[in-house]
Chains A and B, each alone.
Chain A
């Protein structure tokens, strides 16, 4: 239902977007459309699988390095992150079912419930960085200004979390490329108004999805800077993306357990 409406909106939008956005400050409806577009591009009607590389650098500490596989089934809001490398971390994983995030550690064979702010594998990345984009669903936008970011002209939006929605950060600043409507930069704020982290998306890739019958967008690289602990940053690289359908059993605790047993 929801996605059908979105598709309509997006196709309606696609015709006018490029011409009009650059002229005046967008209306509330325009901004809403921007977010819907962003969410919709990244969403796949079918499944999503990607091979990701996560690296955290921190001052005076050794780097954290992981390779993991991410499975997504956007229509049922399910997500699995399974660590593959290094050997000591292999088999650990996360499972998101509805609004619950569980973590599994094969060394002890036990599940734990984690919060939205869980640092994935102890890095600066969070569940939302790997999951489907739900900006329109979770936040209400307001317009700040048109700005310049590097060589791009961007819309600077401020997003406020909707009531009753469980998100890691209640307030978000978003910079969207006026030409392509891709997110370039994002800043997350805590309830206190403190800047927690800044994220950059320097490159977006698109891939045709047979199930969606359209292109699915994904960030090739995500650079996350911790604004609380300076000098700490995390880079996520989508090494491979595959949009073919996945087995239902993947999105269960039992499957994740079986991979390391």
Chain B
């Protein structure tokens, strides 16, 4: 048997038949080329995304694996998604034990302890800031500072007074406005400040109570805190790098804010919005054409007080002088009002022509005199945690600097994470010690309140025999509220400002990142980790970085699902079209098939002929489609695809995705297309094989 020769004949037949039926071949070929193109292109994009995501996420927060409580109620989500809801991922009470055990696994390089909790920062309004400084200055007897800060209070009061006209016009309670105006008048009087010198505390309370509430409200910032061993975090996560300030020193409490949070949440609102507008314009948006941006500019200008409030009278005067000079260079008529409020408003009301110079002036002259950030690097910030015990816990911690994850700089999701030492974090998280629990029990016992449920409340409280009105013991001795209470803060808390670095790895953590020595050995590491956890009964579950990343991993999963469904649909359609076309072709070729059958071709030969035809078409189309897709991917690879939304920054591992194509993508695409081609020819080939040889005898050409 010369199978080879027969095969060669089949191939020749296939090529020649394809050529002979050009229209049919072209239509099917077009479908197959298109299908391959899409499969290879999106396959390559998806694997590129997976690749860059894997790099950016494993090298930022997740590590290769994450472990956490096996009985956790919720799933671990390092990237929180869009809700700040409380998530219960359980606890790792004794991290040291877990670390020791997991480090015994071959491929494990490091186990990084972590914990996530939300801390709030009360962003006070400007006058609150000033009043607090003033209060401290009074307490410490710094009379020079008192003078300067007092001046600033007056500036602010003056500025608020200016707003009172507008406020009176819209107020439904003119009496209230009148009272407020009286209070401001008092603060602006010389007498008030004379009195201040003799009784500063009363005056301060007056300012707190009557003037501060008149300024715009402060705001509450919710910050996501990742408690960890900062030194280890920096060492093990290659994506981590410091931007401003310095690293939290070993064995010290501290906080590193994410640069994104710092710039987008903590920065002075005016400056932040000004930055946004400037960047939009730099990216090519024309202010004159974008009404939304114009509105934003007007809003910034209206909020000029957020800048003025921060300037001392001296600074104000200096800025005013420089602004006057600057305005001249900008050809502003001398007749325009030249008080500082008007000039700052002018400065902020930018247009396409002057935005560069005005922005520069703002940062050169005004910004250095402001507190640009509510929580500045180098200073202490007060974080408040909603603790596990329910008690509110506040901690004071120094902001040492800001950091970024490389590739994820512009992601709000990744930028939501702020890094702090685990010791401080544990306080914010606030799990109660046994001693503390015992103390609560003893307090509770002294009173012994009966628990009454809401349903039974009325019957239990008002149905019984007790009297509603009772006279207290008339001459009960005066009680001493401070008996048995100790309000003084112990020295132990002050001493805690630094700690033994080892304590970071001892005690409570919520989850831990596993860093592998060799990431390519992932699959084995997972089995080993699971075995080790089983062996030492650590009660943990292991998840890979995709799952651990929460919403992001979920999105990727969804995207892959969508791709597969799309592929399925494309091929279902292709299958139907090709099948129909081929059945039609079979009918058309019945005489030819009959002839072959008559002169001795077996059924398999006929089937083979058809299948081979589509195999050839599939292969040729697959190659063409892959080449086209590869060309597109290469082009995208050189220009990059800009991330369209925040979530995409994480997918793309940066602002742009530079996709690459792998042999696997191509092989998969071609293989799939050939498979579909052959599948879609099975039925037509079967039909062809059923053609009876007798038709040859009836053939009319």
Touching in the complex, A and B, CB below 8 A? Answer: yes
Measured CB to CB, the residues of A under 8 A from B are 49, 51, 53, 55-58, 61-67, 69, 82, 84-91, 97-100, 102, 105-113, 121-122, 149-152, 163-164, 177, 180, 182, 184-185, 198, 200, 202-208, 215, 220-221, 223, 225, 230-231, 233, 235, 237, 239-242, 244, 252-254, 259-261
Q: How far is the CA of A91 from the CA of B485 in the complex (A)?
A: 10
Contact A100–B472 (Cβ < 8 Å): no
Once A91-B487, A260-B489 are accepted as A-B contacts, the answer to whether A150 and B461 lie under 8 Å apart by CB is yes
Cross-interface CB contact of B472 among A110, A241, A244, cutoff 8 Å: A241
Question: B447: which of A53, A62, A106, A230 is its contact (CB, 8 Å)?
Answer: A53
- Contacting pair B436 A242 (CB below 8 A): no
Give the distance to chain A from B140, nearest Cβ to Cβ, in Å: 13
Contacts A149-B458, A208-B474, A252-B202 given; indicate if A90 touches B485 (C-beta within 8 A).
yes
Please give, as numbers and ranges, the residues of chain B lying within 8 Å of A221 by CB-CB distance: 449
For residue A202, which residues in chain B have a CB less than 8 angstroms away from its CB?
461-462, 466, 468
Which among B389, B484, B493 has the highest number of chain A CB atoms within 10 Å? Answer: B389
Residues of B within 8 A of A207 (CB): 471-472, 474
Q: Which residues of B contact A55 (CB under 8 A)?
A: 444, 447, 449
Report whether A200 and B458 are in contact in the complex, using a CB–CB cutoff of 8 Å.
Answer: yes
* Residue on A nearest B388 in the bound complex, by CB: A62
Do B396 and A100 touch (CB < 8 A)? no
CB contact between B462 and one of A150, A230, A240 (< 8 Å): that residue: A150
Within the complex, what minimum Cβ distance (angstroms) separates A83 from chain B? 9
CA distance A164 to B209 in the complex (A): 17
With beta carbons under 8 angstroms apart, the residue of A65, A149, A241, A244 that contacts B440 is: A65
Write out the residue numbers on chain A whose beta carbons fall within 8 Å of the beta carbon of B218.
Answer: 113
**Which B residue's beta carbon lies closest to that of A164?**
B173
6 closest cross-chain pairs (CB), A and B: A150-B462, A84-B485, A202-B461, A69-B481, A164-B173, A207-B472
Q: In whole angstroms, how far apart are the Cα atoms of A176 and B218 in the complex?
A: 40
The residue in chain B whose Cβ has the minimal distance to the Cβ of A242 is B478
Residues of A within 8 A of B458 (CB): 149-150, 185, 200
Q: Roughly how many angstroms separate A237 CA and B446 CA in the complex, as a whole number?
A: 11
Q: A63-B444, A184-B462 are in contact. List 14 more A-B contacts (CB 8 A).
A: A66-B443, A85-B443, A88-B436, A90-B487, A102-B208, A107-B394, A110-B394, A111-B208, A112-B122, A113-B218, A164-B175, A198-B454, A223-B452, A231-B454
User: Are B209 and A98 within 8 A (Cβ)?
Assistant: yes
Whole-angstrom CA separation of A254 from B462 in the bound complex: 43
Interface residues of B in 428-443 (CB under 8 A from A): 432, 436-437, 439-440, 443
A60 to chain B, nearest CB (A): 10
Is A151 a contact partner of B463 (Cβ separation < 8 A)? Answer: yes
Which residues of B are found within 8 Å of A105, using beta-carbon distances?
A: 382, 394
The CB with the most chain A CB atoms within 10 A, among B213, B393, B447, is that of: B447
Instruction: Check: B395 CB closer than 8 A to any chain A CB.
Output: yes
Q: Is the CB of A67 within 8 A of B173?
A: no
| Alpha-carbon separation in the docked complex, A87 to B490 (Å) | 10
Q: List 5 A-B contacts (CB under 8 A).
A: A53-B447, A113-B218, A204-B469, A244-B478, A254-B139
CB pair A110 B212 closer than 8 Å: no
Give complex CA distance A200, B462 in Å: 9
Q: Is the CB of A86 within 8 A of B439?
A: yes
Q: Is the Cβ of B395 less than 8 Å from the Cβ of A62?
A: no
Q: Please, what's the 1-or-0 string for B134-148, where 1 marks a CB less than 8 Å from any CB in chain A?
A: 010001000000000
Is the beta-carbon distance between A253 and B132 smaller than 8 angstroms?
Answer: no
Give the nearest-CB partner of B200 in chain A.
A254
Residue-wise interface mask of B (446-490) relative to A, using a CB-CB cutoff of 8 A (1 in contact, 0 not): 110101101001110111001111111010101101101111110
- CB-defined contacts of A253 to chain B, threshold 8 Å: 135, 201, 204-205, 208
Interface string of B481-514 (1 = CB under 8 A from A): 1101111110001000000000000000000000
Which among B392, B396, B449 has the highest number of chain A CB atoms within 10 Å? B449
> How close is A100's CB to chain B, nearest CB, in angstroms?
5
Q: Specify the main secondary structure of chain B where it touches its partner.
A: mixed
Q: Is B642 an interface residue (CB 8 A)?
A: no
Determine the chain A residues whose CB is within 8 A of the CB of B478 once the complex forms. 242, 244
For this complex, into which size category does the number of interface residues on chain B fall? 35 or more
| Given A63-B440, A225-B454: A149 and B462 interface contact (C-beta under 8 Å) | yes
Contacts of A121 in B (CB 8 A): 391-392
Contacts of A49 on B, CB cut-off 8 Å?
481
Min CB–CB distance A165 → chain B (angstroms): 10
Query: Contact between A237 and B449 (Cβ–Cβ < 8 Å)?
Result: yes
Instruction: Contact check, B470 vs A204: say whether CB atoms are below 8 A apart.
Output: yes
B391 touches A152 (CB 8 A): no
Q: Check if A150 sits within 8 Å of B444, measured CB to CB.
A: no
Taking CB atoms, residues of chain A closer than 8 Å to B204 are: 253
CB–CB A204/B468 < 8 A:
yes
Q: Which among B447, B457, B485 is the interface contact of A225 at CB below 8 angstroms?
A: B457
B124 interface contact, C-beta 8 A = yes
List chain B residues, Cβ under 8 A from A215.
471
A252 CA / B205 CA spacing, docked (Å): 7
Closest CB of chain B to A256's CB: distance in Å?
Answer: 10
Inter-chain contact B209/A100, CB cutoff 8 Å: yes
List the A side residues contacting B396 at CB < 8 Å. Answer: 107-110
Chain B's closest residue to A89 (CB) is: B391
In the assembled complex, the Cα of A18 lies from the Cα of B218 at a distance in Å of 50
Q: Is the CB of B213 within 8 A of A122?
A: no
Q: How far is it, in angstroms, between the C-alpha of A180 and the C-alpha of B462 when the chains are bound?
A: 14
B135, B382, B386, B481: which has the most chain A beta carbons within 10 Å?
B481
Residue B394 contacts which of A90, A102, A108, A233 (CB distance < 8 angstroms)? Answer: A108
Question: Inside 8 A of B173's CB, which chain A residues have their CB?
Answer: 163-164
Chain B: which residue is nearest A220 at the CB level?
A: B470
Measured CA separation A102–B452 after assembly (Å): 32
A182 to B466, CA, bound (A): 15
List residues of chain B with CB within 8 A of the CB of A108. 382, 394-396
A90 to B472, CA, bound (A): 28
B322 contacts A by Cβ under 8 Å: no
Q: B541 on the interface (CB 8 Å rule)?
A: no
A261 and B306 CA atoms in complex are apart in Å by 34
Please report the C-alpha to C-alpha distance between residue A112 and residue B125 in the assembled complex, in whole angstroms. 11
Q: Please tell me if B699 contacts chain A, counting CB pairs below 8 Å.
A: no
Which residue of chain A has the shortest Cβ distance to B454 in the bound complex? Answer: A225
Residue B390 lies at the interface, judged by CB distance under 8 Å to chain A: yes
A57 touches B444 (CB 8 A): no
CB neighbours (8 Å) of B452 from chain A are 223
Chain A residues in 8 Å Cβ range of B382: 105, 108, 110
Contact of B205 among A84, A97, A107 (CB under 8 A): A97
Residues of A within 8 A of B2 (CB): none
Q: For the complex, is B210 an interface residue (Cβ under 8 Å from A)?
A: yes
**Nearest opposing residue in chain B for A56, CB measure:** B390
Contact of B488 among A53, A180, A260 (CB under 8 A): A260
B172 at the interface (CB under 8 A from A): yes
A100 and B447 contact, CB distance less than 8 A: no
Q: Are A86 and B440 in contact (CB under 8 A)?
A: yes
Interface status of B128 (Cβ within 8 A of chain A)? yes
Chain A residues near B471 (CB-CB < 8 A): 205-207, 215
Contact with A58, one of B132, B390, B392 (Cβ below 8 angstroms): B390
Tell whether, in the assembled complex, residue A150 and residue B459 are in contact, meaning their CB atoms are under 8 Å apart: yes
Q: Are A252 and B390 closer than 8 Å at their CB atoms?
A: no
**Which B residue's beta carbon lies closest to that of A93?**
B487
Q: Which residues of B contact A164 (CB under 8 A)?
A: 172-173, 175-176
Which residues on A sit within 8 Å (CB–CB) of B392? 121-122
Alpha-carbon gap, A49 to B480, bound state (A): 10
The interface residues of chain B lying within 8 Å CB-to-CB of A66 are 443
Which chain B residues lie closer than 8 Å to A150 at the CB level? 458-459, 461-463
- Checking B128, B208, B209, B390 against A61 with a beta-carbon cut-off of 8 angstroms, the contacting residue is B390
**Cα(A260)–Cα(B439), bound, Å:** 19
Enumerate chain B residues within 8 angstroms of A261, measured Cβ to Cβ.
Answer: 488-489
Q: What's the minimum C-beta distance from B204 to chain A, rounded to whole angstroms?
A: 7
Q: Which residue of A lies closest to B131 (CB)?
A: A111
In contact, B485 and A206 (Cβ under 8 angstroms): no
For chain B, residues 222 to 247, give those with C-beta under 8 angstroms from any C-beta of chain A: none
Whether A205 contacts B470 by the Cβ 8 Å rule is yes
**Given A55-B444, A88-B436, A90-B487: A206 touches B459 (CB 8 Å cut-off):** no
